[in-house]
Amino acid sequence: MLRVVQWATGGVGKAAIEAVQAHPELELVGCYVHSKAKRGKDVGAILGTQQVGVTASDDVEDILALDADVVVYAPLIPNADEVARILRSGKNVVTPVGWFYPSERDAELARACVDGGVTLHGTGINPGGTTDLHPLVLSAMSSKVTFVRAEEFSDMRGYDAPEVLREVMGFGGTPEQARDSPMLGLLTGGFSQSVRMCLDTLGFADAPIQTSHEIAVATAPIESPLGIIEPGQVAGQRFGWEAMVGDQPVVRIAVNWLMGEQNLEPAWEFGPEGERYEIEIKGDPDTFVTIRGWQPATIAEGLKRNPGIVATANHCVNSIPYVCAAAPGIKSSLDLPVVAGRAHPDLEAARG
């Protein structure tokens, strides 16, 4: 059994703990929390389930001293120094908050991996899945690829993280506040890695990446997880990253995040296809894929358990056995074998 520590217990962290408990090759042995209110609690109390037998700690030194194989690192904002300490303590790190496609800027973390004899792997859903790994897998069916697009269309009223929505993402504030929020920088740090992974793997010429950020405001009060969004406040955002070879777009990644489709200016909609993820490959032949199931069927279901958050956590947890078996270093999805989930416990093969 591989011994797992969960670092942070927000939405992704809680879902990751559930995935670890369901995985036949993994055992939860530790949990780091930022909140003093969670300190000393059994992890089950944090999840709202029965006792797990693991006590949450807000002491970094205690976590680093644990006998564990891997840390699922899922804070809101990544801290490279923190990750380096975890790696040098001899623990592999799997994370949805960065390091999807390493570069020379990550040299210090690469050294930390070697020092600890471990691996760092960034993965998830968006980035870390639909925006890089999945388009590249689908591109195997085409030749002479000219364009790759990955795009998300999501109703953010099903995302139960009011502080993140307001303070980080800029919803419910003024357009000026949203433009000045850290969100574009945080997103660009991840999505630009996805663009680069697609450019490099497909063999496109070196291409600059253009970013875009559009904002829609409410025209009437809109109910949301962060409270009522009043007229004039931010109720929709579109972010895009596009690589150009000359005047031709070759890779485009975009997210469309709306607080519903009513009472918006501009009057943005998801269209008849509704919430979804789309992946498009232009080549010989073309490929077009629509992914459903990673957005909740209703807002209420999303507030209770958002499947996109669960999918992000699952991708991290399912990668653990492959990451722990890899040679030391920072590994992208291109460096690992095919990562697969595991059968439902009721359907598992007998283990000797």
pLDDT by residue (tens digit) across 73-128?
999 889 999 999 999 999 999 999 999 999 999 999 999 999 999 999 999 999 99
304-307-313 Cα angle (round to 5): 110
What is Dmax (Cα atoms) for the chain?
63
Helix or strand run (H / E) with residue 65 = helix 60-65
Amino acid 352: pLDDT: 60
Domain ranges of the chain: 2-125+310-347, 133-293
Structure tokens at 290: 């629509």
Could you say which DSSP state residue 102 is in? -
pTM for the full predicted model: 0.95
Tally of CB atoms within 10 A around 216:
21
The answer to whether 115 and 86 are in contact (CB under 8 A) is no
Amino acid 349: pLDDT: 86
Q: 352 Cβ partners below 8 Å, 6+ apart?
A: none
Structure tokens at 294: 């990673």
Q: How far apart are CA 349 and CA 8, in angstroms?
A: 33
Mean pLDDT score of the chain, rounded to an integer? 96
Minimal CA–CA distance to 186: which of 208, 167, 160? 167
In this prediction, residues 271-282 reach a mean pLDDT of 97
Give the bridge partners for 238, in sequence order.
Answer: 214, 256
260 or 348, higher pLDDT: 260
The answer to whether 335 and 319 are in contact (CB under 8 A) is no
Of the candidate CATH numbers 3.40.50.2300, 3.90.1170.50, 3.40.50.1820, 3.40.50.720, the domain formed by 2-125+310-347 belongs to 3.40.50.720
Q: How far apart are CA 116 and CA 95, in angstroms?
A: 17
Minimal CA–CA distance to 185: which of 59, 299, 77? 77
* The amino acid at 86: I
In this prediction, residues 294-313 reach a mean pLDDT of 96
Residue 225 Cα to chain centre, angstroms: 20
pLDDT tens column, 95-110: 999 999 999 999 999 9
Amino acid 168: pLDDT: 87
Give the bridge partners for 264, in sequence order.
Answer: 218
